[in-house]
Amino acid sequence: MSNNKSTLELLRLASVSRRSLLKSAAAVGAVGLSAPIVSKSALSSSGELNLLMWSDEFPGEVIPGFEKATGIKVNQTPFSQNEEQINKLQATGGDGFDLCQPTVNRAPQFKDLAVTAPFDLGKLKNTGNVLPSMMASSKALWEWDGGLHHLPHLWGSEALSYRTDLYKGDLANLSYGSLWDDAVKGHTQGRGHSFLLGIGLWMDATGKSPSNRMLDGYKDEDTFKKVWDPILSFAIEHKSWVKQFWDSADNTKSGLMENDVWIGQTWDGPVLSLKKEGKPVNYTAPKEGAIVWMDGITLLKAAKNIDQVYAFLDYLYTPEVSGMAADGSGYNPVVTGADAFTSDTFKKNFQEAFPGDALKNLWPWPAEPSWYAEIRSQYADKFKAA
């Protein structure tokens, strides 16, 4: 596909940069501890910033620390799914917000929305700290009208999570197909469209329904239907396996801890946060490969607080703050040296999530044109309504 440059960059990041960062964290930390969190110019900014944000990507002291350091008040409007964010921007034209947070593969949809503005990179002092592979992922899909409309924030994955005290399946052979074993009937969770993707990756890997690891479905609508029709049929037939469809980080957590979910297809952050707290859960890549994504930050045309925008971005692109955001959320940092500011537990959880050569078998979300997003939503709705 023509839009897979970002996919290759994410693969390179996960298999090379992350591993080298883990090895060199201590050395980088000695340097990073002396670095200022915000520039002197930001300290006098004050004012406010209106942020349309993922509900779990600015945890703990990330925003309070910025407010204390700069005097800038951050008005937070959280969302839980890209579709929710897109709908809000469609309804408002972006009015009332300075920054939003698209996932990198949603570039075609945001270009169609026409509510974003390019960044003035000359106003940013710390973007040189961003891992080159991550910046390349944004540039590969988000450069138009003479500018860059997306900067990296955190990257993460979607794979299998399970209760270590309740799930009794074969941990050495975890697969997206494990969600449909008879032994877990009535005890699984996932998003509608993610469930369907996982089924497709499983069917492709077993040869039951070859699809070029589901990439054939991105060619055109007719090919999409040929790939997804048997997947939807299987999913509807096995609807009774599903305990709940999650739609947020909190919903994922409550499914595992309160709603008798034993195994599910989920984001890494919520589950690894529970694991860090000592809860009986684990998260790991299945043999078909974990699904990889990167969330970023985008400037809106309607933005009114421009100086505050750039002060916030310079704050985020320090190793200390990027590490803080990653450690608190369970997702992964995009700044060089940020791993030095994450806990040993965070590093251990990452390594356990990607055992062996799992990092070589990732499946990053390809760019999604509007037609793809619309038809996929229709299939997911049919599954959930069955």
Q: What is the pLDDT of residue 1?
A: 32
pLDDT in tens, 205-257: 999 999 999 999 999 999 999 999 999 999 999 999 999 999 999 999 999 99
User: What are the helix and strand counts (H, E) for the chain?
Assistant: 15, 14
Mean pLDDT of 168-197: 97
Mean pLDDT of 172-197: 98
Per-residue pLDDT band at 48 (split at 50, 70, 90): very high
- If one counts every other C-beta atom within 10 angstroms of the C-beta of residue 278, the result is 8
Beta partners for residue 157, in sequence order = 292
* E strand or H helix at 188: strand 188-190
Task: Determine what percent of the chain is predicted with pLDDT higher than 70.
Answer: 88
Q: What is the pLDDT of residue 26?
A: 34
Mean pLDDT of 368-378: 94
3-state SS class at 39: coil
Q: What is the DSSP string of 355-368?
A: -TTGGGG-EEPPP-
Using CA atoms, how far residue 206 sits from 177, 212, 218, 242, 346, in Å, is 10, 12, 20, 22, 33
Is residue 37 pLDDT above 80, yes or no?
A: no
Q: Which of 123, 100, 125 minimizes the C-alpha distance to 297?
A: 100
CATH 3.40.190.10 fits 5-155+293-353, yes or no: yes
Q: What is the pLDDT of residue 30?
A: 31
Within the chain, which residue ranges are assigned CATH 3.40.190.10?
5-155+293-353, 158-291+368-385
Phi and psi angles of residue 187, each rounded to the nearest 5 degrees, phi first = -135, 30
Mean pLDDT of 64-92: 97
Pairwise CA distance, residues 82 & 79, whole Å = 8
pLDDT in tens, 143-165: 999 999 999 999 999 999 999 99
Pairwise CA distance, residues 345 & 119, whole Å = 35
Burial call 341-377: b when 16+ CB within 10 Å, e when fewer: bbeeebeebbeebbeeebbebbbbbbbbbeebbeebe
Per-residue pLDDT band at 46 (split at 50, 70, 90): confident
pLDDT in tens, 287-323: 999 999 999 999 999 999 999 999 999 999 999 999 9
Per-residue pLDDT band at 38 (split at 50, 70, 90): low
CATH fold for domain 158-291+368-385: D-Maltodextrin-Binding Protein; domain 2 (3.40.190)
Average pLDDT, the chain: 90
Mean pLDDT of 249-275: 97
- How would you class 176 by CB atoms within 10 Å of its CB: exposed for 0-12, middle for 13-18, buried for 19 or more? buried
